[in-house]
């Protein structure tokens, strides 16, 4: 394909950038569009996968048919079959009328299935039947219906890994992956980052009726060196923040850095944007707390398990002597002079090295066991409270929009939906 054709496609669909990877992805999309082949678009979240589905639809013979984009991760598992394939009246509680599904409504058009990796296995089997012979059955019906729908799927996860773990059907993967298109992440698109910055700055200047922000020379390398784990979506959000909050329209490096997450120098993708100091902000610190609490709980459970195994086998007390420092704060070994620290008295030495069957009764009474169990129960409850608090903060930050809250939490919308039910959180 000639370069002039690619440029016209970019202008038509509002795609900014000139990186070779982006141009190749557009070229593949344009070449496959006139066919009815199934396409699988892969790329990180926020990299612009939906734009390629629109290219494929608009340049195909189906362009006058309907185009529907569906986020498979946003539909609860119990209703996704009804959403996609429809249902008969009375087929389940709440089914007061017969309903057409998306595959029936878009007959002759294109369906874009985003986050296809989140689709339940049962629904995957139904989708495979549609792809193989164009047949589907409504929920609660026995009548086979036909549909002529082109499927374009997208995912930000490695589907082959999902296949190996039994979370995605292998036959469906190869049926979807007829023509693969890989959308490059923003960090691999070079100077496209600066072009997008200028485009967004212009758009927000017009939207908010302010002068467009510009980057000073020292700020451009900072922009280009950042990893952009949230890709185009993250860049757009940051440009909007700067456009609204900064009085100075020329942005220097220090000003730009204030809006970038602290992990900008790291090669590990950032979890969240670091928020400015606010009690209500949902910050990366909260996520790290949760991770540390989970690790602490797991280690505590492991220590208790090993401790109980060894204390019920006197022949294994040598292991306790050799590795006693691993069992701090567990029952009998709760002492400040422990592990590699020297014992200061013979009594402390004997208390540690005596076989368990010779231990004094008061050191292993029922009250001590209950105290340990109570401590673990409180720790478990505190973790649940912390998780609930993080979810509430994420929802509040994004005005109860579950899609963006789930992205900040690093979970799917379906998982967030289950957590809302579990903790009885009202949106």
A 10 A CB-CB count for 206 gives 10
CA atoms within 13 A on the CB side of 337: 11
Question: What does the CA dihedral 10, 13, 14, 18 come to, rounded to 10 degrees?
Answer: -20
Separation CA 236–CA 421 (nearest Å): 32
Structure tokens at 278: 């606010």
Question: What does the CA dihedral 272, 405, 39, 173 come to, rounded to 10 degrees?
Answer: 90
Backbone angles phi and psi of 369, in degrees to 5: -65, -45
Separation CA 302–CA 298 (nearest Å): 6
In the prediction, which pLDDT does 390 show?
86
In the prediction, which pLDDT does 353 show?
44
Residue 198 has pLDDT above 90, yes or no: yes
Separation CA 58–CA 208 (nearest Å): 31
Residue 8 has pLDDT above 70, yes or no: yes
Least confident range of 5-9, 29-33, 43-47, 268-272:
268-272
> How confident is the model over 104-124, as a mean pLDDT?
95
In the prediction, which pLDDT does 374 show?
58
The pLDDT confidence band at residue 285, using thresholds 50, 70 and 90, is low
**Dihedral sign computed on CA atoms, order 217, 219, 220, 222:** positive
A 10 A CB-CB count for 272 gives 23
Q: Strand 144-146 and strand 135-137: pairing?
A: antiparallel
> How confident is the model over 52-59, as a mean pLDDT?
95
The pLDDT confidence band at residue 332, using thresholds 50, 70 and 90, is very low
Q: CB within 8 A of 321, min separation 6: which ones?
A: 352, 353
Task: Please give the residue that has the higher pLDDT: either 363 or 149.
Answer: 149
A 10 A CB-CB count for 314 gives 11
Least confident range of 33-42, 313-322, 361-370:
361-370
> How confident is the model over 240-263, as a mean pLDDT?
91
Residue 67 has pLDDT above 60, yes or no: yes
In the prediction, which pLDDT does 97 show?
87
CB 46 within 8 A of CB 236: no
Q: Which of 272, 283, 271 is nearest to 389 (CA)?
A: 283
CB 338 within 8 A of CB 325: yes
Kindly report the CATH number that applies to the domain delimited by 3-184.
3.40.50.300
In the chain, domain spans: 3-184, 188-265
The pLDDT confidence band at residue 403, using thresholds 50, 70 and 90, is confident
> How confident is the model over 284-310, as a mean pLDDT?
66
User: How much of the chain exceeds pLDDT 70, in percent?
Assistant: 71
In the prediction, which pLDDT does 266 show?
40
**71-87 residue pLDDT tens:** 999 998 888 999 999 99
**333-384 residue pLDDT tens:** 343 443 444 445 555 445 444 444 444 444 445 555 555 555 555 555 566 7
In the prediction, which pLDDT does 226 show?
95
Residues β-bridged to residue 70: 113
Least confident range of 2-11, 167-176, 317-326:
317-326
3-class DSSP state of 144: strand
User: Which regions of 240-386 does DSSP assign to beta strands (E)?
Assistant: 250-251
Query: Tokens 């993250």 — which residue?
Result: 234
Residue 281 has pLDDT above 80, yes or no: no
3-class DSSP state of 182: strand
CB 204 within 8 A of CB 30: no
Residue 115 has pLDDT above 70, yes or no: yes
Q: Which CATH class is domain 188-265?
A: mainly alpha
Structure tokens at 93: 């509680």
DSSP code for 71: E
């Amino acid at each position: 394909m000639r370069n002039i054709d690619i440029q016209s496609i970019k202008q038509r669909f509002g795609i900014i950038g000139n990186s070779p990877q982006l141009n190749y992805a557009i070229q593949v999309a344009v070449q496959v569009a006139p066919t009815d082949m199934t396409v699988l678009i892969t790329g990180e979240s926020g990299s612009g996968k939906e734009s390629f589905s629109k290219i494929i639809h608009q340049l195909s013979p189906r362009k006058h048919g309907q185009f529907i984009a569906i986020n498979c991760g946003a539909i609860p598992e119990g209703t996704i079959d009804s959403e996609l394939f429809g249902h008969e009246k009375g087929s389940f509680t709440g089914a007061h009328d017969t309903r057409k599904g998306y595959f029936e409504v878009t007959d002759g058009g294109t369906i874009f299935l985003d986050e296809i990796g989140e689709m339940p296995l049962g629904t995957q089997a139904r989708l495979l039947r549609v792809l193989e012979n164009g047949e589907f059955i409504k929920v609660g019906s026995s009548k086979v219906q036909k549909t002529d729908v082109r499927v374009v799927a997208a995912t930000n996860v490695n589907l082959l890994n999902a296949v190996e773990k039994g979370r995605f059907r292998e036959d469906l993967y190869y049926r979807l992956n007829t023509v693969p298109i890989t959308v490059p992440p923003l960090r691999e698109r070079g100077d496209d980052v600066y072009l997008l910055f200028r485009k967004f700055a212009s758009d927000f200047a017009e939207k908010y009726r302010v002068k467009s922000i510009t980057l000073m020379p020292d700020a451009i390398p900072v922009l280009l060196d950042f990893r952009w784990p949230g890709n185009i979506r993250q860049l757009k959000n940051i440009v909007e923040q700067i456009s609204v909050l900064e009085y100075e329209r020329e942005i220097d490096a220090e000003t730009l850095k204030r809006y970038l997450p602290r992990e900008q120098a790291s090669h590990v993708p950032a979890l969240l944007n670091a928020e400015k100091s606010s009690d209500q902000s949902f910050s990366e610190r909260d996520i790290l707390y949760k991770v540390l609490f989970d690790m602490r709980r797991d280690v505590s459970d492991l220590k208790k398990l090993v401790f109980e195994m060894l204390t019920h086998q006197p022949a294994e007390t040598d292991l306790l002597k050799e590795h006693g420092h691993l069992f701090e704060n567990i029952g009998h070994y709760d002492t400040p002079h422990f592990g590699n620290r020297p014992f200061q008295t013979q009594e402390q030495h004997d208390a540690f090295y005596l076989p368990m069957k010779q231990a004094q009764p008061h050191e292993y009474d029922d009250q001590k066991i209950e105290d340990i169990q109570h401590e673990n129960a409180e720790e478990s409850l505190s973790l649940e409270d912390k998780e609930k608090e993080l979810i509430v903060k994420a929802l509040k930050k994004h005005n109860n929009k579950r899609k963006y809250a789930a992205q900040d939490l690093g979970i799917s919308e379906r998982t967030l939906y289950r957590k809302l039910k579990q903790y009885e959180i009202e949106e």
